[in-house]
Amino acid sequence: MLPKVRQGMPMDKKYISKALRNPVYVGEIRHKGTVHAGRHEPIISRQLWDRVQAILAEDAHARMGRTQTRGKTDALLRGLLYDASGVKYHITFSTKPSGKRYRYYIPKKDVRFGHRTSATGMIPADQIEEVVVSQLLGALQSPESVQAVWNHVRARHPEIAEPTVVLAMRRLADVWRALFPAEQVRLANLLIERIVLLSDGIDIVWREVGWKELAGELAPGSIGGEMLEAEVAA
């Protein structure tokens, strides 16, 4: 009779993190939250164990905090990018020995189970962001988008002339690359619901309510309206 074979489970980050914190490898056991000396021999040195625990402790607090804060402005498509099956992409960073830092979007599956787990793998952030920005700027100047925003503005502010709205949207497209990263991220999240990565390109799902809010930002007295007035005066 053949022995029974049990199916294993994929080793994700949670599993590895738990293993790295298991004191059994250094000759100890943990029972009800307290670590005791074990009766077995350690398989790694105390020095190596302490070094690993120090790295894990720093990574879980200061390092994680820095990465999350940095990602809020360094990742234009943070929370917006998905593959065709609905898997979300996360931002990750890689620093070369030269000190130069590179940004990538990586599928959640790769984050959890390791690089190249998914079909697409990591995508250079600069490349995919440039594609999205090009389509976003095109939308800001397309007749359909301008007409939709103008309709919402006219309904709430009939005193505003159509050329005013057209100029404001074109102005926003013109100054986009000069905006602070935080403002670019805000506008991207305002106008985009999600971006689906396809085998032959991308599909942007626009936030209709976001375009309505953009119309409000172009109203008199708003920041967008003041920017427009300055442009007209010039």
Query: What is the distance, to the nearest Å, from the Cα of residue 173 to the centroid of all Cα atoms in its chain?
Result: 22
CATH of the domain spanning 11-69, picked from 3.40.50.920, 3.20.20.70, 3.30.1360.20, 3.90.1750.20: 3.90.1750.20
Domain boundaries, the chain: 11-69, 70-124, 126-233
Residue-wise DSSP of the chain: -PPP-PPP----HHHHHHHHT-GGGGTEEEETTEEEE-SSPPSS-HHHHHHHHHHHHHIIIIIHHHHHHHHHHH-TTTTTEEETTSPBEEEEEEE-TTS-EEEEEEEHHHHHH-TT-SSS--EEHHHHHHHHHHHHHHHHHSHHHHHHHHHHHHHH-TTS-HHHHHHHHHHHHHHGGGS-HHHHHHHHHHHEEEEEEETTEEEEEE-HHHHHHHHHHTSTTSHHHHHHHHHHH-
Say how many C-beta atoms besides its own lie within 10 A of residue 147's C-beta. Answer: 12
Distance (Å, whole) CA 77 – CA 85: 18
* Amino acid at residue number 126: D
Is 90 in contact with 68 (CB distance < 8 Å)?
A: no
- pLDDT grade for 128, boundaries at 50, 70 and 90: very high
Select, from the ranges 16-30, 50-64, 150-164, the one with the highest average predicted confidence (pLDDT): 16-30
Mean residue pLDDT of the chain comes to 77
Say how many C-beta atoms besides its own lie within 10 A of residue 188's C-beta. Answer: 20
Rounded to an integer, the average pLDDT of 190-206 is 89
What backbone phi and psi angles, to 5 degrees, belong to 30?
A: -110, 130
pTM of the model: 0.60
Residue 22 pLDDT more than 80? yes
Tell me the two tokens of residue 51: 């070094």
Give the tens place of pLDDT for each residue, 56-69: 776 544 454 444 44
Give the tens place of pLDDT for each residue, 73-84: 678 999 999 988
Query: What is the distance, to the nearest Å, from the Cα of residue 108 to the centroid of all Cα atoms in its chain?
Result: 11
Is 160 in contact with 149 (CB distance < 8 Å)?
A: no
